[in-house]
Chains A and B, each alone.
Chain A
Amino acid sequence: AQSVSQHNHHVILSEAASLELGCNYSYGGTVNLFWYVQYPGQHLQLLLKYFSGDPLVKGIKGFEAEFIKSKFSFNLRKPSVQWSDTAEYFCAVYNTNAGKSTFGDGTTLTVKP
């Protein structure tokens, strides 16, 4: 069965610190990869996605992620976080054969001003 693992449950950073959130998945077939963000009290929004091509993808708000196929990883990065980045971040893997997504358990990011 397909699974997605987000290693960090809760991350606390100071403003301007660099961020890296880990995401590993288990499925060996063709996948599309996503990072979503959920700000407090709001719905899920797409940060970035990877379908094919350049494994380094850039998203909104200065976020980027790198797909490393050999490691089954899709880690999210941001060089310098802001207080407004405080949110919950979900990694998702879309199995194109099954037609459904599997989400990680989420990482809560708290940025201290």
Chain B
Amino acid sequence: KNQVEQSPQSLIILEGKNCTLQCNYTVSPFSNLRWYKQDTGRGPVSLTIMTFSENTKSNGRYTATLDADTKQSSLHITASQLSDSASYICVVGIPANQAGTALIFGKGTTLSVSS
């Protein structure tokens, strides 16, 4: 069964600190892996998209890594800010020409950054 598991479920850190969110997946075949940020009451916004041939991708203070062999990914947030407080969703894409069913969503990690 195609599944995406994220850990931890929630996390509280102090402003300025770094943190790492984890994603394990059992999705086959695999095409790409995405991380989305979702602010409360808003739609998800894409942070990074990596294909199986990419090991790391950065977007500002966000760095995603991918190990396709172990089927693990991580999202590292550097020098956290209050605005980083959100839900971070790991999403795995399967090869398809239909955008909708091609994505398997994790349930997200809720990050709270406190001052």
A and B: real partners?
A: no
A residues touching B (Cβ–Cβ < 8 Å)? none
B residues touching A (Cβ–Cβ < 8 Å)? none
